[in-house]
Amino acid sequence: MDGLMAAALAARANALAPFSGFRVGAAVEDDNGRIHTGCNIENASFGLTICAERVAVFKALSEGSRAFRRLAVAADSDRLTPPCGACRQILWEFCGNIEVVLVNLTGNTESHRMSDLLPEPFDASLLR
Ligand code: THU
């Protein structure tokens, strides 16, 4: 278990998930080696819930980070939890083809590339 996965697991402790009970933590490492964390934040509207991955990336962007190396996602699931579709779009746009590491509470891990998680992506290169 490396520091990025440990940070994602620790961030999970702050999850606000009273409706689903499904707590998620995420941690993204920027190109300076700085780690930014996030957790899922649910609310009574349900639809305005934001996932741990987007919280981590938006926090990092708002702190001025613009390039990223890796992202870790931590959840309590036997089948490891990958980013949802909305998060994949945001990760592709702001982080590019980074490595996405999934981890659960028993320490099982899996690694994926964003290009595998989001094949044939829509992005700004098409807006020409
Ligand atoms: N969730 C995340 O935070 N990240 C994922 O990768 C999958 C889903 C959250 C959203 C919601 O609060 C809860 O998990 C159940 O979908």
pLDDT digits (tens, 9 = 90+) for 52-97: 999 999 999 999 999 999 999 999 999 999 999 999 999 999 999 9
Q: Is 0.95 surpassed by the pTM of this model?
A: yes
Give the nearest ligand 1 atom to 17 CA. Answer: 12
Segment 93-121 shows an average pLDDT of 98
Report the alpha-carbon distance of residue 4 to residue 21 in Å, rounded: 23
CATH number for the region 3-127 comes to 3.40.140.10
Does the beta carbon of 40 lie inside 6 Å of ligand 1? Answer: yes
Report the alpha-carbon distance of residue 2 to residue 61 in Å, rounded: 23
Does the beta carbon of 20 lie inside 6 Å of ligand 1? Answer: yes
pLDDT exceeds cutoff 80 at 1:
no
Does the beta carbon of 15 lie inside 6 Å of ligand 1? Answer: no
For 2-19, the pLDDT digits (tens) are: 999 999 999 999 999 999
Report the alpha-carbon distance of residue 45 to residue 41 in Å, rounded: 11
Report the alpha-carbon distance of residue 42 to residue 111 in Å, rounded: 27
